[in-house]
Amino acid sequence: MKTTKIFYWVLTAIVALMMAFSCYSYLTKPEMAAAFHHLGFPDYFRIELAIAKLIGAIVLLAPAGARLKEWAYAGFAIVFVSAFIAHTVSGDPIANRVMPLVFLAVLGGSYFLYYKRTGSGK
């Protein structure tokens, strides 16, 4: 049980830190605004996505209810799949396409261990 808890927190922290860092980048780096325009997204989407990622990261780390955590996991899964699709359709390099799938796998590990650790979802 202790190993499960440690791996859960490591994977969850990786996802949360990455989402917090991307939130910071979306709001402060001009090259991120250019990247969103390259993908065909309007500027307001970058801002609302940054806010949603920050809220989701907080929910994953905070002692929130299971239903709220479910929404955060689902939202991040949608974000990662959508990022993969957007980078693929825009013809970005393979590294840009694969990274959302890597983070989707890390998120999946966190999700699996969340339920294994809490005993929910039976």
- Please state the pTM of the whole predicted model: 0.86
- State mean pLDDT over 36-62: 94
Name residue, tokens 């949360």: 16
Q: Could you report how far apart the first and last alpha carbons of the chain are, in Å?
A: 17
Q: What is the pLDDT of residue 120?
A: 59
Q: Quick: pLDDT tens for 65-103.
A: 889 999 999 999 999 999 999 999 988 888 888 999 999
> How high does pLDDT run on average in the chain?
91
DSSP string, 96-121: HHHHHHHHHHHHHHHHHHHHHHH---
Amino acid (one-letter) located at 115 = Y
Q: Which of 9-13, 81-85, 92-96, 115-119 has the lowest mean pLDDT?
A: 115-119
Q: What is the pLDDT of residue 118?
A: 77
Q: How many residues does the chain have?
A: 122
- State mean pLDDT over 10-34: 95
